[in-house]
Amino acid sequence: MPFTIAIDGPAASGKGTIARALALRFSFHHLDTGLLYRAVGARGGDPIAAANSLSPEDLARGDLRSAEAGQAASRVAAIPEVRAALVAFQRAFARQEPGAVLDGRDIGTVICPMAEVKLYVTASDQIRARRRALELGADEARMLVELRERDARDAARDVAPMRPADDAILLDTSEMSIEAAVARAVETVRQVLA
């Protein structure tokens, strides 16, 4: 029976790093669902048409990790028709054998509400801005403004707002090393698998 791990949280909280580590540790498939929205936003044109015709090549674009693609993703993710077009793909991915780890903003609440493990990974705004600035070689103050704008937009959207699932385990990585955050997540999954 497939095992699904849903990881949600804001940008630069560490959820992608934790998701990749869990997928590797448990030999599960991994999907960074934000890439789907980044690819739709980066394609430009009609976002609904882009979501309905997303291809593997779109997900392999080299510019999907840019700040611009992140902002575009947040804008197109607020469009109900875009979200609907991508839901079936994500749900099918989540039920692959032996298991899957999906990270995003609405995995535990909308995409996989029955996931066996739900984590909500967060960190302080300042820590997240510092991490993103280092990752992109950008100005930390600008990153702070952009992250706060994106968080507000993602949390306030009518469809699938970013919020922890009622039964999600909160993992605040503000003062944690990557190794400590991954270890905590691994232990959480081990307890459920046992």
pLDDT digits (tens, 9 = 90+) for 128-171: 999 999 988 999 999 999 999 989 988 888 878 889 999 999 99
With a CB cutoff of 8 Å and minimum separation 6, the contacts of 108 are 6, 7, 8, 115, 118, 119, 120, 164, 165, 167, 168
User: Is 15 annotated to bind ligand?
Assistant: yes
10 marked among binding-site residues: yes
Q: Which domains does the chain have, with CATH numbers?
A: 3-189 (3.40.50.300)
Annotated binding residue 47: no
- Judge whether 9 is annotated as a binding position: yes
**pLDDT for 172 beyond 80:** yes
pLDDT tens string 80-121: 899 889 998 899 889 999 999 999 999 999 999 999 999 999
What pLDDT is recorded for position 73? 87
